[in-house]
């Protein structure tokens, strides 16, 4: 006879049940799609689109893509009020936060044209 998770959870003590629920929430939070992340932040596609100055259909396309430019992902996360950081994981060392890629550094806007040296 097969048992389902609800039957097992009912047999646990309240303390054990709370630990299982807390760990399940942690695991769920560790991996989300962009759509799930936006929904967890209680934001609509329209609100994020407005922040990015694009149409709602643009947000829908971003959320469905499996391959994004880092700058697009950074802007999407920033529009939700977050900050993107990239973490590199190797099996034989601690995780490393990759710098210089996900950060936004606006290019200086200069009214001057660069002078070219002539010989």
Provide the residue range defining the domain that includes 73: 14-98
pTM over 0.75: no
Burial class (CB in 10 A: 0-12, 13-18, 19+), 74: buried
Q: Rounded CA gap, 110 and 107, in Å?
A: 9
CATH of the domain at 83: 1.10.260.40
Band (pLDDT 50/70/90 cuts) for residue 38 is very high
Q: Rounded CA gap, 110 and 19, in Å?
A: 57
Answer whether residue 90 is part of any domain: yes
Number of domains in the chain: 1
pLDDT(25) > 60 = yes
Mean pLDDT for the stretch of residues 65-76: 94
Mean pLDDT for the stretch of residues 42-64: 96
Answer whether residue 73 is part of any domain: yes
pLDDT of residue 103: 65
pLDDT of residue 113: 43
Band (pLDDT 50/70/90 cuts) for residue 108 is very low
Compute the C-alpha angle 7/25/90, nearest 5°: 120
- Percent helix / strand / coil, the chain, rounded to 5: 50, 10, 40
pLDDT of residue 5: 76
């Amino acid at each position: 006879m097969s048992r389902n998770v609800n039957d097992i959870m009912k047999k646990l003590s309240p303390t054990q049940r709370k630990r299982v629920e807390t760990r399940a929430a942690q695991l769920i939070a560790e991996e989300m799609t962009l759509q799930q992340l936006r929904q967890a932040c209680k934001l609509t596609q329209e609100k994020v689109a407005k922040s990015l100055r694009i149409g709602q259909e643009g947000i829908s396309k971003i959320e469905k893509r499996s391959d994004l430019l880092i700058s697009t992902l950074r802007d999407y996360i920033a529009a939700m009020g977050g900050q993107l950081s990239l973490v590199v994981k190797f099996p034989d060392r601690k995780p490393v936060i990759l710098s210089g890629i996900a950060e936004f550094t606006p290019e200086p806007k200069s009214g001057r044209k660069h002078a070219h040296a002539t010989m």
